[in-house]
Structure 1
């Protein structure tokens, strides 16, 4: 499957224009830039809403984003631009924290002295046998304990190299919404953070996450929101996926990720002397992110549940059924069923985020749903392109056999040119058939492995081995 261009034209205007701004400023690959934007959308919105699927199931709207990119692709620069509202919010929280701590310590000191006084009264009443005073004091003490001042907490939205347990503890004890985000994903994928993939899956699914410890500090992380977004180099990703002990595919972790492997722009990022771009569209996106973040931080009630319009439901069902039909044996998604099975749900999450960022009210529209299914399908095809098993046709297999035979003949005889009839007679067994040989030679020529020649003096068909074929395998892409 070829590397299809990112469908940026279908994205909502506020998202599309911000990606254009950052793409122009950084000259990073568009899918990598889009990953940064989607990460910001997810982190800002995830704790304010859920979305109800047309089948009645209510799911979270947070995203897991995984981008395969080499070092130097400017992922960190892209992240800094899109994550600015979160860094600003964290700095503001830190600035206000000292004052809040002073207020807390004063209130807690008063609360502590009042508790000591009540306990002294309770102890004296028990010693004197004054049952009525003891009961009333105990009731007052119970109420007092419920009014214990709450220690202020600094706001930290972005976590780096953390274990699943540390992520869960942060969400449980500090902020109910955070993102595990890194441009050095190899440290995470092949480090401690991947020690418990099912725990991370629980945050994508929206289920309770149980953390069991040997001591008495076990806890349940309930109704918490996690965005997961990393960039990883190919070598680290390959180690993570292909390790014999890896359960990345089996447990469904990779299937939950919006995965992309963009074509690098390195070697094409030329400097120019024009004025630095103003990034006006990025600023609009940042402002909207800050607005949503501020709104979601102030929400203490249950999350709102977004729903679809009638036409949007039909579009979601159409897409889900289309993907399902392509999961049948031999169909294009038959060997990536893990990713395909999550694609319709990814589309619903994307639609909800588009709806929120466009500041829409009411049900999610058909137009937004179409944008979301188009984008979800791009990510599914990218997942299939990178993780599906190679599909080698008979012509490809025969061509590879002939290619190997020609190289072996050259190494033995130092001959670049071979008669076609000689291959038909002495070549690989599978190609000792005129029609199969013809198709295999045409395939081999199409990838530059050989040239087909004609001896004008004898009319003999010849095959000339490409000298470059001795340095590389032209079928590597298969």
Structure 2
């Protein structure tokens, strides 16, 4: 048996910073604008933006992974934050384009619906005329074969009901959501900024079906009042923002089952750090030009979805990876697989790890499509997706796995130190960190343990100069 390659240095270290979306002008500027104007946590804002991009693009695009497997580009999110963190306004800014698009399409839909109603009435009138002829012939004992053939022909000519551009669902039951996707657009978003009703209600009752849709598989839906139906080739984005108490209650009730069937393995998790207490007014006039540009781009992509309302058999465009990006994605895939081993990074999160490379491919495809880049997915776009998804991986671990207090302290300290890295300052005295860092970490022993943990992770290095301990934030 050949020697297994050491993949330990391939994956991002713990504490990777949020991507800055360089060269991605539309999404970067919109994220920066919303983050600045409502002063919500950056992680929350990024997830809100990507939820909107997923909902817009999933209906018209798939992604071909470098291993040859084609998959939807839909994303599932669970965001955990306390009341007042900015969940509702953040999501509303990025999703406003969908309601605007539905309103703009309503005149077209109303015209189509009126034509459909008129067409059905014409068919019904002709059927009634034929039925009268049938009644007369039956009473005379004559053959009704010609009338039967005509009735079959008329039923075949009955027009199909037009589909509406309904994309957003809040706390709908699975039955109502799936029926809406069957009767209207088969691309939808279960979006809730106050997700306690979703988690505690019936919206997430049928997790196996959500898993199937995530994978692009068909589902059968049984109904009590009418016949069952099959939902094929559907696409779904889920973005649920909730509080810690709600997610904890959900995990107590259904967490084991939800994780056992693989639902949480598919979910990108974010626990954004609250900015409450730091949201000071910087200027009196706020500009929203970049979020308007974001909304316009969402509407452009939605136009590509309209053909699927009229032509159910239309095919989606397929996004592929460049050669350099393909090599890197395969390397990331193999490194994740390597870390599933006993003692590896994902030893206790094998379900999550099994879907991580897939989510990375989806995020990369969405960024590529949204920005309108030419050609295939670039290496830089994929690197951005890798960093983002590994942040979500850390947050998944914080919710579903128990970390030691030292690891938690180290994570919080590293997030605080990021402000110095962002300003281009890489060297800092340990005493200054102790003086200004978060209160809990100012304890001498707690700070030392957190620094040693970060040094072990390669996030920073410690060195002594004379009697002064210094910290190099560049790490290894």
TM-score by length of 1: 0.77
2:203 is the counterpart of 1:193? yes
* Aligned residue runs from structure 1 range 160-179, under 5 A: 160-179=170-189
2:382 is the counterpart of 1:369? yes
| 2:122 aligned residue (107, 110, 114) | 110
User: Which residue of structure 2 aligns with residue 426 of structure 1?
Assistant: none
| Separation (CA, whole Å) in 2 of partners of 1:8 and 1:224 | 32
| Separation (CA, whole Å) in 2 of partners of 1:392 and 1:342 | 28
User: Which residue of structure 2 aligns with residue 213 of structure 1?
Assistant: 223
2:96 is the counterpart of 1:79? no
User: Which residue of structure 2 aligns with residue 14 of structure 1?
Assistant: 26
| Separation (CA, whole Å) in 1 of partners of 2:225 and 2:254 | 33
CA deviation profile, 1:60-110 (whole Å, cap 9, x unmatched) = 111101111111112111112111110102223445555444433332222
8 Å CA contact 1:240–1:248 kept in 2: the answer is no
| Separation (CA, whole Å) in 2 of partners of 1:200 and 1:11 | 34
Displacement of 1:347:
1.0
- Count how many residue pairs are aligned between Structure 1 and Structure 2: 398
* Aligned residue runs from structure 1 range 351-430, under 5 A: 351-391=364-404
User: Which residue of structure 1 aligns with residue 356 of structure 2?
Assistant: 343
| 2:280 aligned residue (249, 270, 274) | 270
* Aligned residue runs from structure 1 range 12-91, under 5 A: 12-91=24-103
Q: Structure 1 residues 209 and 268, CA, compared in 2 at 3 Å: closer, same or farther?
A: same
CA deviation profile, 1:427-467 (whole Å, cap 9, x unmatched) = xxxxxxxxxxxxxxxxx961289xxxxxxxxxxxxxxxxxx
User: Which residue of structure 2 aligns with residue 283 of structure 1?
Assistant: 292
Displacement of 1:51:
1.4
Displacement of 1:137:
3.8
| Separation (CA, whole Å) in 2 of partners of 1:339 and 1:141 | 55
| 2:246 aligned residue (236, 243, 250) | 236
* Aligned residue runs from structure 1 range 264-343, under 5 A: 264-277=274-287, 279-299=288-308, 300=311, 301-343=314-356
Q: Structure 1 residues 384 and 392, CA, compared in 2 at 3 Å: closer, same or farther?
A: same
| Separation (CA, whole Å) in 2 of partners of 1:209 and 1:330 | 38
| Separation (CA, whole Å) in 2 of partners of 1:40 and 1:79 | 8
8 Å CA contact 1:180–1:228 kept in 2: the answer is yes
Of structures 1 and 2, the larger Rg is shown by 1
8 Å CA contact 2:200–2:246 kept in 1: the answer is yes
2:269 is the counterpart of 1:259? yes
User: Which residue of structure 1 aligns with residue 413 of structure 2?
Assistant: none
User: Which residue of structure 1 aligns with residue 152 of structure 2?
Assistant: 142
Q: Structure 1 residues 293 and 383, CA, compared in 2 at 3 Å: closer, same or farther?
A: same
CA deviation profile, 1:300-335 (whole Å, cap 9, x unmatched) = 312222222322221110110111111111122211
Q: Mean alpha-carbon deviation: is it higher for 171-180 or for 246-255? A: 246-255
Q: Structure 1 residues 127 and 11, CA, compared in 2 at 3 Å: closer, same or farther?
A: farther
| 1:182 aligned residue (186, 192, 202) | 192
8 Å CA contact 1:241–1:249 kept in 2: the answer is no
8 Å CA contact 1:164–1:200 kept in 2: the answer is no
Give the SS at the match of 2:40: coil
Displacement of 1:386:
3.4
| Separation (CA, whole Å) in 1 of partners of 2:131 and 2:366 | 52
| Separation (CA, whole Å) in 1 of partners of 2:87 and 2:32 | 15
User: Which residue of structure 1 aligns with residue 419 of structure 2?
Assistant: none
8 Å CA contact 2:21–2:27 kept in 1: the answer is no
| Separation (CA, whole Å) in 2 of partners of 1:330 and 1:264 | 33
CA deviation profile, 1:252-300 (whole Å, cap 9, x unmatched) = 11111111101100111112443222x2222221111000001212243
Displacement of 1:3:
5.3
Q: Structure 1 residues 212 and 102, CA, compared in 2 at 3 Å: closer, same or farther?
A: closer
TM-score by length of 2: 0.77
Structure 2: unaligned runs, 5 residues or longer:
1-12, 410-442, 449-476
8 Å CA contact 2:61–2:318 kept in 1: the answer is yes
8 Å CA contact 1:37–1:82 kept in 2: the answer is yes
Structure 1: unaligned runs, 5 residues or longer:
397-443, 450-478
Q: CA RMSD in A?
A: 2.7
Displacement of 1:186:
1.3
